[in-house]
């Protein structure tokens, strides 16, 4: 949707970044897109010829990355790298490019922009570099800005500034922002809608307030529970989700989250759940959903969140041994009380 702010969350290795890179066809070899569709204004970007896709890159859909230092070319001036993004497309008149380059740096609040445009990336601080990346991304007034963990490499105070900048730019320019992060706090602060990914698939999506208020997928619920609370009891341990995301080459059958899910039922090991509406404009892919987990398994008071702990269901014989990644066997086979 134009002007929207969308958050894409999930643990490391859930396929968030690859999803984003696929949109612009930037997946590194030997990786490639084997199927599916990415629709942009009714056109499928996956099947689009490289020449046409190149016109979309940076002009209609721009992207900024996690580490602004390694994402900027160390031997080229920052101003030049921004101007270059405009020269690649004919959207900005040639005689305005240089002035707009400096204006963009001002817009992203780089002090003394005219002089700084002649500096090299190593002369910028981390936050300034990310601002320069954002300026580059916005230079052609794109419709969508994909921000792949834009604040992960920055310290906390700078993180807040960058997020504030992104929010202001979204409001001022109407550019849609797709924010990829594993930090739910960042999503809450910036996004209106959120998509939760697990093992390369969407498991839940919906408006941010609604998802935070009543998550329906146990994975979303576990993620939210893992956020440390400032008002929590000091003796309480930090909560985490037992185990690791599965190896994407050897996915478990049925629900991908079942080896780690406290609320799993037998069916979860057999059938892969599809997204379905669980509340107005909220969808989740789960056989149980938290509604049932609260009603039948006492999710409100649960303290033991080990796999299968709440439902008492263990993986059927053979399934665990065959497919569960070695890293998750401990969690999947742990004692169930």
Tokens matching residue 308 = 């299968």
Q: Is residue 54 a contact residue for other proteins (CB under 8 A)? A: yes
> Is 50 or 238 the residue whose CB approaches other proteins more closely?
50
Interface residue with other proteins among 59, 193, 256, 260 (CB under 8 A) is 59
Q: Which is nearer to other proteins, 67 or 272 (CB)?
A: 67
Of 177, 199, 203, 172, the closest CA to residue 189 belongs to 177
Half-sphere exposure (Cβ direction) of 20: Cα atoms closer than 13 Å: 27
From the list 15, 16, 65, 297, which residue makes contact with other proteins (rule: CB under 8 A)? Answer: 65
Indicate which single residue of 8, 9, 45, 85 sits in contact with other proteins (rule: CB under 8 A).
85
b/e map of 49-73 (b: 16 or more CB within 10 Å)?
eeeebeebbbbbbbbbbbbbeebbe
Nearest to 3 by CA among 207, 181, 144: 144
Using CA atoms, how far apart are residues 191 and 3, in angstroms rounded to an integer? 11
Cis amide leading into 271 (omega within 30)? no
**Which tokens hold the place of 337?**
């009380």
By CB under 8 A, what part of segment 102-141 binds other proteins? 120, 122, 133, 136
9, 14, 45, 62: which one contacts other proteins (CB under 8 A)? 62
Stretch that binds other proteins, among 57-65, 180-188, 219-227, 228-236 (CB under 8 A): 57-65
Residue 227 CB, shortest distance to other proteins, in Å, is 29
Cβ distance 72 to 78 under 8 Å? yes
Of 45, 63, 261, 265, the one binding other proteins (CB under 8 A) is 63
222 and 241 Cβ atoms separated by less than 8 Å: yes
Cβ distance to other proteins smaller for residue 57 or 264: 57
Q: Which stretch binds other proteins (CB under 8 A): 31-39, 64-72, 159-167, 260-268?
A: 64-72
Q: Which residues are at the interface with other proteins (CB under 8 A)?
A: 21, 24, 26, 28, 54-59, 62-63, 65, 67, 70-76, 84-85, 88-89, 120, 122, 133, 136
């Amino acid at each position: 949707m134009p002007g929207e702010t969308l958050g894409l969350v999930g643990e490391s290795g859930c396929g968030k970044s690859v999803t984003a890179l696929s949109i612009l066809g930037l997946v590194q070899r030997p990786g490639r897109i084997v199927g599916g569709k990415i629709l942009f204004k009714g056109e499928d970007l996956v099947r689009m010829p490289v020449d046409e896709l190149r016109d979309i890159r940076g002009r209609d859909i721009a992207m900024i990355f996690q580490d602004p230092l390694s994402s900027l070319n160390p031997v080229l001036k920052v101003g030049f790298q921004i101007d270059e993004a405009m020269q690649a497309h004919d959207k900005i008149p040639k005689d305005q490019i240089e002035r707009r380059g400096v204006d963009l740096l001002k817009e992203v609040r780089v002090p003394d922009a005219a002089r700084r445009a002649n500096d090299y990336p190593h002369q910028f601080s981390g936050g300034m570099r990310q601002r320069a990346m954002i300026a580059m991304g916005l230079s052609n007034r794109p419709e969508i800005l994909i921000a792949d963990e834009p604040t992960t490499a920055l310290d906390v105070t700078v993180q807040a500034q960058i997020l504030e900048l992104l929010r202001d730019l979204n409001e001022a320019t109407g550019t849609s922002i797709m924010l990829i992060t594993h930090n739910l706090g960042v999503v809450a602060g910036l996004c209106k809608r959120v998509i939760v990914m697990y093992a390369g698939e969407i498991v839940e999506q919906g408006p941010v307030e609604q998802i935070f208020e009543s998550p329906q997928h146990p994975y979303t619920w576990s993620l939210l529970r893992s956020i440390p609370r400032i008002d929590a009891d000091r003796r309480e341990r930090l909560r985490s989700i037992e185990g690791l995301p599965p190896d994407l080459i050897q996915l478990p059958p049925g629900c991908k989250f079942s080896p780690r899910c406290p609320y799993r039922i037998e069916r979860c090991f057999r059938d892969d759940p599809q997204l379905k509406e669980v509340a107005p404009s909220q969808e989740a892919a789960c056989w149980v959903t938290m509604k049932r987990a609260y009603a039948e398994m006492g999710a409100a008071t649960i303290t033991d969140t080990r796999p299968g702990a709440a439902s008492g269901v263990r993986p059927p014989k053979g399934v665990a041994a065959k497919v569960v990644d070695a890293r998750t066997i401990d969690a999947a086979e742990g004692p169930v009380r």
